[in-house]
Chains A and B, each alone.
Chain A
Amino acid sequence: MAETIDLKLHVWRQNGPKDAGRFEDYSQYARGISTHASFLEFLDVVNERLVLDNKEPIMFDHDCREGICGMCGMVVNGEPHGPQKATTTCQLHMRSFRSGEELWVEPWRASAFPVIRDLSVDRGAFERIIQAGGYITARSGAAPDANAIPIAKSLADEAMDAATCIGCGACVAACPNASASLFMSAKIGHLNSLPQGQAERDKRTLAMVAQHEKEGFGSCSNHYLCEAACPKEISIRWIARMNRDLLSAAISYKPAEQRAGGDGLSWV
Protein backbone atom coordinates (compact mmCIF):
# COMPACT_ATOMS: atom_id res chain seq x y z
CA MET A 1 0.00 0.00 0.00
CA ALA A 2 1.31 3.33 -0.95
CA GLU A 3 1.34 5.96 1.72
CA THR A 4 0.21 9.42 0.83
CA ILE A 5 1.70 12.73 1.90
CA ASP A 6 0.56 16.34 1.90
CA LEU A 7 3.01 19.01 0.80
CA LYS A 8 3.30 22.76 1.12
CA LEU A 9 3.99 23.45 -2.53
CA HIS A 10 5.28 26.71 -4.01
CA VAL A 11 5.86 26.74 -7.77
CA TRP A 12 7.51 29.43 -9.90
CA ARG A 13 5.07 30.75 -12.52
CA GLN A 14 6.32 32.90 -15.37
CA ASN A 15 4.38 33.70 -18.53
CA GLY A 16 7.40 34.14 -20.75
CA PRO A 17 11.04 35.27 -20.90
CA LYS A 18 10.02 38.92 -20.37
CA ASP A 19 7.61 38.30 -17.47
CA ALA A 20 9.01 38.95 -13.98
CA GLY A 21 7.55 35.72 -12.58
CA ARG A 22 6.51 34.85 -9.03
CA PHE A 23 5.91 31.90 -6.70
CA GLU A 24 2.35 30.59 -6.41
CA ASP A 25 1.16 28.59 -3.42
CA TYR A 26 -0.33 25.31 -4.65
CA SER A 27 -0.54 23.52 -1.30
CA GLN A 28 -4.25 22.91 -1.80
CA TYR A 29 -3.46 20.88 -4.94
CA ALA A 30 -0.61 18.94 -3.32
CA ARG A 31 -2.52 16.84 -0.80
CA GLY A 32 -2.75 13.04 -0.77
CA ILE A 33 0.27 12.48 -3.01
CA SER A 34 1.40 8.85 -3.33
CA THR A 35 4.95 8.27 -2.11
CA HIS A 36 5.37 5.90 -5.09
CA ALA A 37 4.87 8.78 -7.52
CA SER A 38 7.88 10.31 -9.23
CA PHE A 39 8.34 14.06 -8.90
CA LEU A 40 7.03 14.59 -12.43
CA GLU A 41 4.01 12.37 -11.75
CA PHE A 42 3.40 14.50 -8.68
CA LEU A 43 3.39 17.61 -10.91
CA ASP A 44 1.08 15.77 -13.36
CA VAL A 45 -1.38 15.25 -10.51
CA VAL A 46 -1.12 18.90 -9.47
CA ASN A 47 -1.66 19.93 -13.11
CA GLU A 48 -4.80 17.78 -13.45
CA ARG A 49 -6.19 19.42 -10.34
CA LEU A 50 -5.26 22.88 -11.63
CA VAL A 51 -7.05 22.20 -14.92
CA LEU A 52 -10.16 20.96 -13.07
CA ASP A 53 -10.01 24.23 -11.16
CA ASN A 54 -9.88 26.17 -14.48
CA LYS A 55 -6.28 27.22 -13.96
CA GLU A 56 -3.30 27.08 -16.29
CA PRO A 57 -1.22 23.94 -15.74
CA ILE A 58 2.46 24.29 -14.81
CA MET A 59 4.74 23.94 -17.81
CA PHE A 60 7.82 21.78 -17.31
CA ASP A 61 10.21 19.88 -19.59
CA HIS A 62 10.18 16.10 -19.67
CA ASP A 63 10.59 13.30 -22.15
CA CYS A 64 11.84 9.77 -21.40
CA ARG A 65 11.09 9.77 -17.66
CA GLU A 66 13.79 7.10 -17.36
CA GLY A 67 16.66 9.38 -16.34
CA ILE A 68 18.53 9.10 -19.65
CA CYS A 69 17.33 11.85 -21.97
CA GLY A 70 18.35 15.00 -20.09
CA MET A 71 15.11 16.79 -20.84
CA CYS A 72 13.69 17.20 -17.33
CA GLY A 73 15.10 19.33 -14.60
CA MET A 74 13.97 21.82 -12.01
CA VAL A 75 15.36 23.20 -8.79
CA VAL A 76 13.66 21.78 -5.70
CA ASN A 77 14.50 23.60 -2.46
CA GLY A 78 17.66 25.10 -3.94
CA GLU A 79 18.96 21.79 -5.30
CA PRO A 80 18.93 21.01 -9.03
CA HIS A 81 16.97 17.77 -9.57
CA GLY A 82 16.03 17.77 -5.87
CA PRO A 83 17.66 16.31 -2.79
CA GLN A 84 18.68 12.85 -4.00
CA LYS A 85 22.22 12.38 -5.33
CA ALA A 86 22.84 11.15 -8.89
CA THR A 87 19.14 11.32 -9.75
CA THR A 88 17.22 13.23 -12.39
CA THR A 89 13.93 14.89 -11.42
CA CYS A 90 11.94 12.17 -13.21
CA GLN A 91 13.64 9.46 -11.15
CA LEU A 92 13.17 11.33 -7.88
CA HIS A 93 10.33 9.80 -5.89
CA MET A 94 7.98 11.41 -3.43
CA ARG A 95 9.18 9.07 -0.66
CA SER A 96 12.18 11.44 -0.52
CA PHE A 97 9.91 13.98 1.19
CA ARG A 98 8.10 14.07 4.53
CA SER A 99 4.43 14.86 4.82
CA GLY A 100 3.98 18.56 5.57
CA GLU A 101 7.34 19.46 4.02
CA GLU A 102 7.59 22.81 2.27
CA LEU A 103 8.74 22.63 -1.37
CA TRP A 104 9.98 25.54 -3.47
CA VAL A 105 10.12 24.53 -7.13
CA GLU A 106 11.96 26.82 -9.57
CA PRO A 107 13.47 26.69 -13.05
CA TRP A 108 17.24 26.55 -13.74
CA ARG A 109 18.46 30.10 -13.17
CA ALA A 110 21.01 31.41 -15.67
CA SER A 111 21.06 34.28 -18.16
CA ALA A 112 22.11 31.78 -20.84
CA PHE A 113 18.99 29.67 -20.13
CA PRO A 114 16.07 32.08 -20.60
CA VAL A 115 12.79 30.87 -19.12
CA ILE A 116 10.33 29.83 -21.82
CA ARG A 117 7.47 29.46 -19.37
CA ASP A 118 7.22 28.43 -15.70
CA LEU A 119 9.80 25.67 -15.13
CA SER A 120 10.77 25.23 -18.75
CA VAL A 121 14.02 26.88 -19.90
CA ASP A 122 15.64 27.28 -23.31
CA ARG A 123 18.80 25.19 -23.34
CA GLY A 124 19.63 26.00 -26.97
CA ALA A 125 22.98 27.33 -25.73
CA PHE A 126 24.06 23.72 -25.11
CA GLU A 127 23.07 22.75 -28.66
CA ARG A 128 25.17 25.59 -30.04
CA ILE A 129 28.19 24.56 -27.95
CA ILE A 130 27.89 21.05 -29.40
CA GLN A 131 27.47 22.46 -32.92
CA ALA A 132 30.69 24.44 -32.47
CA GLY A 133 32.82 21.31 -32.10
CA GLY A 134 31.17 18.44 -30.24
CA TYR A 135 31.48 16.00 -33.12
CA ILE A 136 34.06 14.25 -35.27
CA THR A 137 34.26 14.76 -39.01
CA ALA A 138 34.13 11.33 -40.61
CA ARG A 139 33.61 10.07 -44.11
CA SER A 140 30.11 8.76 -44.51
CA GLY A 141 29.49 5.39 -46.13
CA ALA A 142 29.43 1.86 -44.81
CA ALA A 143 29.89 1.52 -41.05
CA PRO A 144 33.54 0.79 -40.20
CA ASP A 145 34.49 -2.52 -38.57
CA ALA A 146 33.77 -2.38 -34.87
CA ASN A 147 37.37 -3.03 -33.89
CA ALA A 148 39.12 -1.30 -36.80
CA ILE A 149 40.69 1.18 -34.37
CA PRO A 150 42.00 -0.58 -31.26
CA ILE A 151 41.11 1.33 -28.08
CA ALA A 152 42.23 0.22 -24.63
CA LYS A 153 39.35 -0.83 -22.37
CA SER A 154 40.46 1.61 -19.67
CA LEU A 155 40.42 4.47 -22.18
CA ALA A 156 37.03 3.48 -23.55
CA ASP A 157 35.64 3.33 -20.00
CA GLU A 158 37.06 6.74 -19.20
CA ALA A 159 35.61 8.31 -22.35
CA MET A 160 32.29 6.67 -21.48
CA ASP A 161 32.35 8.34 -18.04
CA ALA A 162 32.34 11.69 -19.83
CA ALA A 163 29.89 10.57 -22.51
CA THR A 164 27.25 9.74 -19.88
CA CYS A 165 26.52 13.49 -19.66
CA ILE A 166 22.89 13.88 -20.73
CA GLY A 167 23.11 17.66 -21.14
CA CYS A 168 20.35 18.43 -18.65
CA GLY A 169 21.93 21.68 -17.42
CA ALA A 170 21.97 20.87 -13.69
CA CYS A 171 25.66 21.88 -13.58
CA VAL A 172 24.76 25.38 -14.79
CA ALA A 173 21.84 25.54 -12.37
CA ALA A 174 24.04 24.56 -9.41
CA CYS A 175 26.97 26.84 -10.27
CA PRO A 176 27.00 30.20 -8.45
CA ASN A 177 28.55 31.61 -11.65
CA ALA A 178 26.17 29.77 -14.00
CA SER A 179 29.15 28.25 -15.74
CA ALA A 180 28.63 25.37 -18.16
CA SER A 181 32.20 24.14 -17.67
CA LEU A 182 31.19 20.67 -16.49
CA PHE A 183 28.91 20.05 -19.49
CA MET A 184 31.42 21.51 -21.94
CA SER A 185 34.38 19.66 -20.45
CA ALA A 186 32.52 16.33 -20.56
CA LYS A 187 31.65 16.84 -24.22
CA ILE A 188 35.18 17.99 -25.12
CA GLY A 189 36.83 15.34 -22.94
CA HIS A 190 34.79 12.46 -24.32
CA LEU A 191 36.00 13.13 -27.88
CA ASN A 192 39.49 14.37 -26.95
CA SER A 193 40.13 11.09 -25.08
CA LEU A 194 39.58 8.85 -28.10
CA PRO A 195 41.68 8.30 -31.25
CA GLN A 196 38.79 9.42 -33.47
CA GLY A 197 38.77 12.81 -31.77
CA GLN A 198 42.46 13.63 -32.16
CA ALA A 199 42.37 15.19 -35.65
CA GLU A 200 40.14 18.07 -34.54
CA ARG A 201 41.25 18.18 -30.93
CA ASP A 202 42.64 21.73 -30.72
CA LYS A 203 40.04 23.22 -33.03
CA ARG A 204 37.22 21.57 -31.09
CA THR A 205 38.47 22.77 -27.72
CA LEU A 206 38.95 26.36 -28.88
CA ALA A 207 35.63 26.53 -30.74
CA MET A 208 33.53 25.07 -27.94
CA VAL A 209 35.16 27.29 -25.32
CA ALA A 210 34.56 30.33 -27.56
CA GLN A 211 30.89 29.39 -27.99
CA HIS A 212 30.49 28.92 -24.22
CA GLU A 213 31.82 32.45 -23.78
CA LYS A 214 29.49 33.83 -26.46
CA GLU A 215 26.44 32.26 -24.80
CA GLY A 216 27.06 34.29 -21.65
CA PHE A 217 27.85 31.51 -19.19
CA GLY A 218 30.10 32.45 -16.27
CA SER A 219 33.55 30.95 -15.74
CA CYS A 220 34.48 28.18 -13.34
CA SER A 221 35.70 29.38 -9.96
CA ASN A 222 36.16 25.93 -8.45
CA HIS A 223 33.12 25.74 -6.19
CA TYR A 224 32.52 22.16 -7.38
CA LEU A 225 28.75 22.29 -6.85
CA CYS A 226 28.24 21.10 -10.44
CA GLU A 227 29.80 17.74 -9.69
CA ALA A 228 27.56 17.31 -6.63
CA ALA A 229 24.41 18.25 -8.57
CA CYS A 230 25.17 16.17 -11.68
CA PRO A 231 22.68 13.30 -12.05
CA LYS A 232 25.36 11.37 -13.97
CA GLU A 233 28.15 12.16 -11.49
CA ILE A 234 30.49 13.66 -14.09
CA SER A 235 33.79 14.43 -12.35
CA ILE A 236 35.29 17.91 -12.18
CA ARG A 237 38.54 16.25 -13.32
CA TRP A 238 37.12 16.75 -16.82
CA ILE A 239 37.23 20.51 -16.26
CA ALA A 240 40.92 20.26 -15.31
CA ARG A 241 41.56 18.25 -18.46
CA MET A 242 39.66 20.77 -20.58
CA ASN A 243 41.73 23.59 -19.07
CA ARG A 244 44.90 21.71 -20.00
CA ASP A 245 43.62 21.04 -23.53
CA LEU A 246 42.65 24.71 -23.91
CA LEU A 247 46.06 25.98 -22.78
CA SER A 248 47.90 23.62 -25.09
CA ALA A 249 45.54 24.39 -28.01
CA ALA A 250 45.94 28.14 -27.48
CA ILE A 251 49.70 27.73 -27.78
CA SER A 252 49.87 25.37 -30.73
CA TYR A 253 46.76 25.83 -32.87
CA LYS A 254 46.92 27.82 -36.11
CA PRO A 255 43.89 28.06 -38.38
CA ALA A 256 44.41 26.72 -41.92
CA GLU A 257 44.54 30.14 -43.60
CA GLN A 258 47.37 31.27 -41.32
CA ARG A 259 49.47 28.23 -42.13
CA ALA A 260 51.72 29.28 -45.03
CA GLY A 261 52.17 26.65 -47.73
CA GLY A 262 49.80 24.15 -46.26
CA ASP A 263 52.16 21.20 -46.27
CA GLY A 264 53.05 21.94 -42.68
CA LEU A 265 56.70 22.37 -43.67
CA SER A 266 56.78 26.12 -44.34
CA TRP A 267 59.35 26.64 -41.59
CA VAL A 268 61.97 24.53 -43.38
Chain B
Amino acid sequence: MLKAEPLPLLATGAGKKAAVAVTGTILYGFVFAHAVGNLQVFLGPETINAYGAMLHSMPKALWGARLVLLGSVVTHAALAMNIYAGAKAARPTRYKVNAPIAEQSILQRYARQTMILSGPIVMAYLIFHLAHLTAGAVPGLPFKEGDVYGNLVRGFQNPAVAVSYIVANLLLGLHLFHGGVALFQTLGLRHPQWDARTRPIAFLVTAVVTFTNVIIPTAILTGLIGSELR
Protein backbone atom coordinates (compact mmCIF):
# COMPACT_ATOMS: atom_id res chain seq x y z
CA MET B 1 0.00 0.00 0.00
CA LEU B 2 1.13 3.47 -0.82
CA LYS B 3 1.62 5.75 2.16
CA ALA B 4 0.73 9.35 1.50
CA GLU B 5 1.55 11.51 4.49
CA PRO B 6 -1.00 14.29 5.01
CA LEU B 7 0.36 17.68 3.96
CA PRO B 8 -0.07 20.88 5.93
CA LEU B 9 -3.24 22.58 4.70
CA LEU B 10 -1.33 25.43 3.05
CA ALA B 11 0.77 22.99 1.07
CA THR B 12 -2.30 21.66 -0.75
CA GLY B 13 -4.02 23.34 -3.68
CA ALA B 14 -7.42 23.25 -1.99
CA GLY B 15 -5.94 24.65 1.24
CA LYS B 16 -4.25 27.54 -0.59
CA LYS B 17 -7.48 28.25 -2.40
CA ALA B 18 -9.33 28.30 0.94
CA ALA B 19 -6.89 30.91 2.26
CA VAL B 20 -7.37 32.94 -0.95
CA ALA B 21 -11.14 32.70 -0.43
CA VAL B 22 -10.99 33.78 3.23
CA THR B 23 -8.68 36.75 2.56
CA GLY B 24 -10.77 37.58 -0.50
CA THR B 25 -13.91 37.65 1.63
CA ILE B 26 -12.24 40.07 4.07
CA LEU B 27 -11.24 42.33 1.17
CA TYR B 28 -14.69 41.98 -0.40
CA GLY B 29 -16.28 43.15 2.86
CA PHE B 30 -13.92 46.13 3.02
CA VAL B 31 -14.52 47.13 -0.60
CA PHE B 32 -18.28 47.03 -0.02
CA ALA B 33 -18.15 49.13 3.16
CA HIS B 34 -15.64 51.55 1.55
CA ALA B 35 -17.86 52.05 -1.51
CA VAL B 36 -21.02 52.61 0.50
CA GLY B 37 -19.20 55.00 2.88
CA ASN B 38 -17.92 57.01 -0.07
CA LEU B 39 -21.44 57.61 -1.33
CA GLN B 40 -21.46 60.41 1.28
CA VAL B 41 -19.58 62.52 -1.25
CA PHE B 42 -23.01 63.22 -2.74
CA LEU B 43 -24.09 64.77 0.57
CA GLY B 44 -21.49 67.52 0.29
CA PRO B 45 -18.04 68.37 1.66
CA GLU B 46 -19.06 68.67 5.34
CA THR B 47 -20.55 65.17 5.55
CA ILE B 48 -17.71 63.24 3.88
CA ASN B 49 -14.98 65.27 5.60
CA ALA B 50 -16.67 64.59 8.95
CA TYR B 51 -16.81 60.88 8.03
CA GLY B 52 -13.06 60.94 7.28
CA ALA B 53 -12.33 62.76 10.55
CA MET B 54 -14.47 60.24 12.44
CA LEU B 55 -12.43 57.32 11.03
CA HIS B 56 -9.16 59.13 11.83
CA SER B 57 -10.33 59.83 15.40
CA MET B 58 -9.90 56.12 16.20
CA PRO B 59 -6.24 55.49 15.28
CA LYS B 60 -6.08 52.06 16.92
CA ALA B 61 -9.09 50.74 15.02
CA LEU B 62 -7.90 52.45 11.83
CA TRP B 63 -4.41 50.96 11.96
CA GLY B 64 -5.76 47.60 13.12
CA ALA B 65 -8.02 47.49 10.08
CA ARG B 66 -5.20 48.64 7.81
CA LEU B 67 -2.91 45.87 9.09
CA VAL B 68 -5.58 43.20 8.57
CA LEU B 69 -6.22 44.50 5.06
CA LEU B 70 -2.53 44.68 4.20
CA GLY B 71 -2.03 41.13 5.47
CA SER B 72 -5.03 39.97 3.45
CA VAL B 73 -3.85 41.64 0.24
CA VAL B 74 -0.34 40.21 0.55
CA THR B 75 -1.60 36.69 1.38
CA HIS B 76 -4.26 36.81 -1.33
CA ALA B 77 -1.85 37.92 -4.06
CA ALA B 78 1.08 35.73 -3.02
CA LEU B 79 -1.00 32.54 -2.86
CA ALA B 80 -2.79 33.39 -6.11
CA MET B 81 0.56 33.76 -7.89
CA ASN B 82 1.79 30.52 -6.33
CA ILE B 83 -1.34 28.67 -7.52
CA TYR B 84 -0.99 30.20 -10.98
CA ALA B 85 2.63 29.05 -11.23
CA GLY B 86 1.57 25.54 -10.17
CA ALA B 87 -1.16 25.52 -12.81
CA LYS B 88 1.26 26.59 -15.55
CA ALA B 89 3.64 23.80 -14.55
CA ALA B 90 0.81 21.26 -14.49
CA ARG B 91 -0.45 22.26 -17.93
CA PRO B 92 2.45 23.64 -19.99
CA THR B 93 0.91 22.93 -23.43
CA ARG B 94 -2.33 24.18 -24.92
CA TYR B 95 -4.56 22.45 -27.42
CA LYS B 96 -4.45 23.19 -31.12
CA VAL B 97 -8.10 24.25 -31.18
CA ASN B 98 -9.33 26.55 -28.42
CA ALA B 99 -12.79 25.05 -27.85
CA PRO B 100 -15.18 26.59 -25.32
CA ILE B 101 -15.94 23.09 -23.83
CA ALA B 102 -18.59 24.42 -21.41
CA GLU B 103 -21.63 26.53 -22.18
CA GLN B 104 -21.11 29.55 -19.96
CA SER B 105 -22.38 33.12 -20.12
CA ILE B 106 -20.01 35.72 -21.61
CA LEU B 107 -19.80 37.45 -18.22
CA GLN B 108 -18.92 34.21 -16.43
CA ARG B 109 -16.36 33.18 -19.04
CA TYR B 110 -14.76 36.61 -19.12
CA ALA B 111 -14.70 36.90 -15.33
CA ARG B 112 -12.96 33.57 -14.79
CA GLN B 113 -10.52 34.00 -17.67
CA THR B 114 -9.44 37.49 -16.62
CA MET B 115 -9.06 36.64 -12.91
CA ILE B 116 -5.28 36.44 -13.18
CA LEU B 117 -5.17 39.64 -15.28
CA SER B 118 -7.63 41.70 -13.26
CA GLY B 119 -5.70 40.82 -10.08
CA PRO B 120 -2.41 42.58 -11.01
CA ILE B 121 -4.24 45.49 -12.67
CA VAL B 122 -6.41 46.01 -9.60
CA MET B 123 -3.25 45.79 -7.46
CA ALA B 124 -1.56 48.53 -9.53
CA TYR B 125 -4.70 50.63 -9.22
CA LEU B 126 -4.81 50.02 -5.47
CA ILE B 127 -1.24 51.30 -5.04
CA PHE B 128 -2.05 54.39 -7.11
CA HIS B 129 -5.30 54.90 -5.19
CA LEU B 130 -3.49 54.78 -1.82
CA ALA B 131 -0.76 57.12 -3.06
CA HIS B 132 -3.40 59.47 -4.45
CA LEU B 133 -6.03 59.70 -1.72
CA THR B 134 -4.44 58.27 1.44
CA ALA B 135 -0.82 59.41 1.31
CA GLY B 136 -1.24 62.33 -1.10
CA ALA B 137 2.02 61.38 -2.76
CA VAL B 138 1.09 61.64 -6.45
CA PRO B 139 2.96 64.56 -8.02
CA GLY B 140 0.65 66.95 -9.84
CA LEU B 141 -2.45 65.98 -7.88
CA PRO B 142 -3.19 68.43 -5.05
CA PHE B 143 -3.67 66.88 -1.63
CA LYS B 144 -4.78 68.47 1.66
CA GLU B 145 -4.87 66.30 4.78
CA GLY B 146 -8.44 66.03 6.07
CA ASP B 147 -10.11 67.54 3.00
CA VAL B 148 -11.51 64.27 1.62
CA TYR B 149 -14.00 66.04 -0.59
CA GLY B 150 -11.51 68.46 -2.11
CA ASN B 151 -8.89 65.76 -2.77
CA LEU B 152 -11.46 63.53 -4.41
CA VAL B 153 -12.95 66.25 -6.58
CA ARG B 154 -9.63 67.74 -7.71
CA GLY B 155 -8.30 64.28 -8.52
CA PHE B 156 -11.28 63.23 -10.61
CA GLN B 157 -11.49 66.53 -12.45
CA ASN B 158 -8.41 65.19 -14.23
CA PRO B 159 -9.93 62.98 -16.99
CA ALA B 160 -6.95 60.57 -17.08
CA VAL B 161 -7.33 59.85 -13.36
CA ALA B 162 -11.12 59.49 -13.54
CA VAL B 163 -11.01 57.17 -16.56
CA SER B 164 -8.31 54.95 -15.06
CA TYR B 165 -10.41 54.67 -11.86
CA ILE B 166 -13.47 53.71 -13.91
CA VAL B 167 -11.62 51.04 -15.95
CA ALA B 168 -9.95 49.60 -12.85
CA ASN B 169 -13.28 49.40 -11.06
CA LEU B 170 -14.98 47.62 -13.95
CA LEU B 171 -12.18 45.02 -13.83
CA LEU B 172 -12.51 44.87 -10.06
CA GLY B 173 -16.22 44.16 -10.60
CA LEU B 174 -15.45 41.11 -12.76
CA HIS B 175 -12.92 39.96 -10.19
CA LEU B 176 -15.44 40.34 -7.34
CA PHE B 177 -18.20 38.61 -9.31
CA HIS B 178 -16.11 35.51 -10.03
CA GLY B 179 -14.64 35.52 -6.53
CA GLY B 180 -18.00 36.09 -4.88
CA VAL B 181 -19.45 32.98 -6.51
CA ALA B 182 -16.29 30.87 -6.31
CA LEU B 183 -15.69 31.34 -2.59
CA PHE B 184 -18.75 29.24 -1.74
CA GLN B 185 -17.37 26.39 -3.84
CA THR B 186 -13.83 26.74 -2.51
CA LEU B 187 -14.86 26.78 1.14
CA GLY B 188 -17.31 23.93 0.59
CA LEU B 189 -20.23 26.13 1.63
CA ARG B 190 -22.60 24.76 -0.94
CA HIS B 191 -26.06 23.43 -0.35
CA PRO B 192 -28.83 22.68 -2.87
CA GLN B 193 -31.06 25.21 -1.12
CA TRP B 194 -28.55 28.09 -1.34
CA ASP B 195 -26.95 27.34 -4.66
CA ALA B 196 -29.60 29.05 -6.76
CA ARG B 197 -29.13 32.24 -4.73
CA THR B 198 -25.35 32.59 -4.48
CA ARG B 199 -24.86 33.77 -8.07
CA PRO B 200 -27.63 36.43 -8.02
CA ILE B 201 -26.46 37.65 -4.60
CA ALA B 202 -22.82 37.87 -5.70
CA PHE B 203 -23.97 39.69 -8.83
CA LEU B 204 -26.10 42.15 -6.86
CA VAL B 205 -23.45 42.98 -4.25
CA THR B 206 -20.81 43.33 -6.97
CA ALA B 207 -23.14 45.53 -9.02
CA VAL B 208 -23.67 47.86 -6.02
CA VAL B 209 -19.92 48.15 -5.41
CA THR B 210 -19.05 48.65 -9.08
CA PHE B 211 -21.87 51.14 -9.72
CA THR B 212 -20.86 53.19 -6.68
CA ASN B 213 -17.18 53.19 -7.58
CA VAL B 214 -17.90 54.17 -11.17
CA ILE B 215 -20.58 56.79 -10.46
CA ILE B 216 -18.35 58.88 -8.14
CA PRO B 217 -15.58 59.67 -10.68
CA THR B 218 -18.22 59.99 -13.41
CA ALA B 219 -20.24 62.52 -11.40
CA ILE B 220 -17.14 64.59 -10.68
CA LEU B 221 -15.79 64.40 -14.22
CA THR B 222 -19.12 65.56 -15.67
CA GLY B 223 -19.38 68.36 -13.09
CA LEU B 224 -22.48 66.92 -11.44
CA ILE B 225 -20.72 67.44 -8.11
CA GLY B 226 -17.70 69.50 -7.18
CA SER B 227 -18.01 72.02 -10.03
CA GLU B 228 -17.62 74.80 -7.43
CA LEU B 229 -13.94 73.77 -7.04
CA ARG B 230 -13.10 74.02 -10.71
Contacts A175-B91, A178-B90 given: A78-B97 contact, CB under 8 Å? yes
Q: Are B190 and A237 touching (Cβ within 8 A)?
A: yes
Q: Are A128 and B2 touching (Cβ within 8 A)?
A: yes
Which residues of chain B are within 8 angstroms of A207 by Cβ–Cβ distance?
A: 4-6
Q: Are B16 and A219 touching (Cβ within 8 A)?
A: yes
CB-CB contacts below 8 Å: A93-120 with B = 104, 106, 109-112
CA A224 to CA B97, docked complex, whole Å: 19
Task: Select from chain B the residue with minimum beta-carbon distance to A129.
Answer: B4
Q: Are A219 and B87 touching (Cβ within 8 A)?
A: yes
Q: Are B86 and A218 touching (Cβ within 8 A)?
A: yes
Q: Are A242 and B90 touching (Cβ within 8 A)?
A: no
CA A225 to CA B99, docked complex, whole Å: 11
Kindly count the residue-residue contacts between A and B in the assembled complex, taking CB atoms under 8 Å apart.
167
**Chain B interface size range:** 35 or more
Determine whether A132 belongs to the interface, using a CB cutoff of 8 Å to chain B: yes
Q: Are A244 and B4 touching (Cβ within 8 A)?
A: no
Determine whether A77 belongs to the interface, using a CB cutoff of 8 Å to chain B: yes
Across the interface, B4 reaches (CB within 8 A) one of A104, A176, A214, A223, namely A214
Which residues of chain A are within 8 angstroms of B5 by Cβ–Cβ distance?
A: 207, 210
Q: What's the least CB distance linking B174 to chain A, in Å? A: 14
CB-CB contacts below 8 Å: B91-111 with A = 91-99, 101-104
Q: Are A213 and B13 touching (Cβ within 8 A)?
A: yes
Task: Select from chain B the residue with minimum beta-carbon distance to A222.
Answer: B182
CB-CB contacts below 8 Å: B66-88 with A = 83, 86-87
Q: Are A243 and B187 touching (Cβ within 8 A)?
A: yes
Which residues of chain B are within 8 angstroms of A224 by Cβ–Cβ distance?
A: 102, 104
Q: Are A110 and B13 touching (Cβ within 8 A)?
A: no
A-contacting residues of B (Cβ < 8 Å)?
A: 1-7, 9, 11-18, 83, 86-87, 89-99, 101-104, 112, 115, 178, 181-182, 184-190
B-contacting residues of A (Cβ < 8 Å)?
A: 10, 23, 75, 77-80, 104, 106, 109-112, 128, 131-133, 174-179, 181, 203, 206-214, 216-225, 227-229, 236-237, 239-247, 249-250, 253, 255
23 pairs of residues in contact across A and B, judged by CB atoms under 8 Å: A10-B96, A78-B95, A79-B99, A80-B101, A133-B4, A174-B101, A206-B6, A209-B6, A210-B4, A210-B5, A218-B90, A219-B13, A221-B83, A228-B101, A229-B102, A237-B190, A240-B184, A240-B189, A243-B17, A244-B187, A244-B188, A247-B188, A249-B6
